[in-house]
Structure formats: C-alpha cells, structure tokens
Structure 1
Amino acid sequence: MVRQRSIFSFFLVLLATFLISCGGPGVAIAPPTYTAVQLEKIQAYLPEIQAVRDRSEELTTLIKKGDWINVRNFIHGPITEAKLNLTYITPNLLPKDQPTARQITRDFFKDLVKLDKATSASNPLVALNQSQAAFAEIDKFLQLLPKTSSEAEAS
C-alpha cells in the first residue's frame, strides 16, 4: 500500500509538472512602439532631411551645368547636415529598425564620398549616378520612419 501511494504521488507530480510547463504566460507581449520623446526627436530632424531630399533636382541641375564649386558646397553643406540628422535619428528608431538605418546611413556616406570624388574630377556622369544613389538612400531611410504619431501609438 505504501508503495502504491509513492507511485501514485510520483505520477501526480509528473502530471502537475507537465500541466504547469504547458501553460505559458497568459499575457501577450505588446510589440515595441515609439514613445512620445522618440517621436519628438525624430520630428525635430525630419524637416531638414526632407528639405534636402526636395532639393535633389537643384543638385542635378548644378551637376549638368558643371558648376562644380556649388555642387561641392551643396555636398559639404546641406547634404552633410542631412547625413548627421540621419545619424541623430537612428537611436530613436525601434530596435529592429536600427541596424537597417545604420547600414543605410553608411551607404549614404559612401555615395557622398564617391560623389565628392566625381565632383573633384569634374565627371558629370559619375556625379549624376552617385547623387541619384545618395537620394535613393535618403528615400530608404525615410521609409523606416513612423508615418504619423497617431499611427505609431496605435501600433
């Protein structure tokens, strides 16, 4: 009889352990969202990036004219500031988007270096290709950003 109780107790312990292990947390974990502070920081830098993006045709015109001094001024002025703003925004993105944002920023910088070299060599074909590549990187980065504050809060 003692032996039957110990076997019965053993099976009850196994059953309880199995049932407890099968039951997971009852609360679903919400996906990460943007905080108000993060959205505020992103919105502070976004207009300057968008302004540079909107001036892409201006750079194309300068390259086609061969106005290399103003092209270099544009590269080392507004476009470089946009690169800094991309860098400032990256830590405020969701953790899953940060590696992508860092890679886009690196690619953008590489495009700027190639654009600057093409400008120094007065090579309009390479300069046009690199400026298009640089603005394509800006577009990729802008796609990572939250669309609106209400959309980010709803997520």
Structure 2
Amino acid sequence: MARQRSILSLILVILATFLISCGGPTVATAPPTYTTAQLEKIQEYVPDILSVRDRSDELQKLIRRNDWIDVGNFIHGPMTSVKLNMSYIASNLLPKDQSQARQITRDLFNHLVKIDQAAADRNSQQALSNNKAAFADIDNFLQLLPQSNNPQES
C-alpha cells in the first residue's frame, strides 16, 4: 500500500511538472492599432460628416420656420448620407469601438426617423429635441475616431 502511494505521488509530481513547464511565460501583445488603409478609409468619410454637423443651425432654422418640406429634404439628403458614412467608418474602427459606433449610428437613425415623423405631424418641439439628439449622436461618433483623423472644432 505504501508503495502504491509513492508511485501515485511520483506520477502526480511528474504530471504537475509537465503542466507547469507547458505554461511558459505569456507574451505581451501590443494593443490593436489602425492600419494605414483603415486610417485612409476613415479620413475619406470624416469631412462629409463634419460639413453636415456644421450645418446643424440650418436644420434648426428650418424646423423653427415650420418649413417641413425642406426639413424632410435635409433629413433624407445630407443627414442620411452622414448615417451611411458613419456605417462605413464603423467597420474600419478598432474592434473595441465598433459596437459602440454601430449603436450610435442606430441612435442617429432613430432620431432621424423621429424628426421625419415630427415633420409629418408638424410637431416643432419633437423635431427640435430630436434634432439636438441627432447632432449629439454625430459628436459622440466623432469622439470614437482616431485623434489624428478627428479635426473637430473645440
């Protein structure tokens, strides 16, 4: 019986030694970074987003004047192109930022739908609040972009 215990102990020591030797030190991996191609694709779409973001006052004025046809044109034209550009950029962001970018893009879409619905209902208050939220979504999205490609005005 004592002999069996010492053989079992020896097997366990050999097994533990083997498992520990296979563990080896972990190699530190560098955090993911943007490739040149990704940066170029992002940079390609950012100016269009910035130009529409800078036109936020224009949409606000249209809503205040109850110019619902032009509000609809602005929503279905420049704002929809911003949403598409944001979708294109999201796929080129780092994996940790992609899900947040996609969520912000969905939020923007939902706010645009609400503005469009408010325009159809001729509801200035709802349109103005969703207008503010839509442009806040754009600003939040721009903050996810790499700093070298984010020429936001402060």
TM-score by length of 2: 0.85
What's the CA shift for 1:7? 7.8
Q: What are the residue-to-residue correspondences of 1:2-81 with 2, within 5 Å?
A: 10=11, 13-14=14-15, 16-17=17-18, 19-21=20-22, 23-25=24-26, 27-81=27-81
Q: Sequence identity of aligned pairs in percent? A: 56
Q: Which has the higher contact order (CA 8 A, sep 6+)?
A: 1
Runs of 4+ in 1 over 6 A off after TM superposition: 6-9
**Whole-Å separation in 2 of the counterparts to 1:130 and 1:99:** 22
Give the aligned partner of residue 152 of structure 1: none
How many positions carry a matched residue from both structures?
146
TM-score by length of 1: 0.84
Q: CA offsets, 1:101-129, max 9 Å, x none?
A: 11111111010000001111111111100
What's the CA shift for 1:96? 1.0
**Whole-Å separation in 2 of the counterparts to 1:93 and 1:140:** 14
Residue type matched to 2:17 in 1?
Answer: A
Of 97-106 and 16-25, the range deviating more from structure 2:
16-25
What's the CA shift for 1:148? 0.7
What's the CA shift for 1:18? 5.1
What's the CA shift for 1:64? 1.0
Rate the CA distance shift 1:89–1:17 in 2: closer, same or farther, 3 A. Answer: same
Instruction: Tell me the C-alpha RMSD between the 2 structures.
Output: 2.2
SS at match of 1:46: helix
Unaligned runs of 5+ in 1: 150-155
Rate the CA distance shift 1:113–1:7 in 2: closer, same or farther, 3 A. Answer: closer
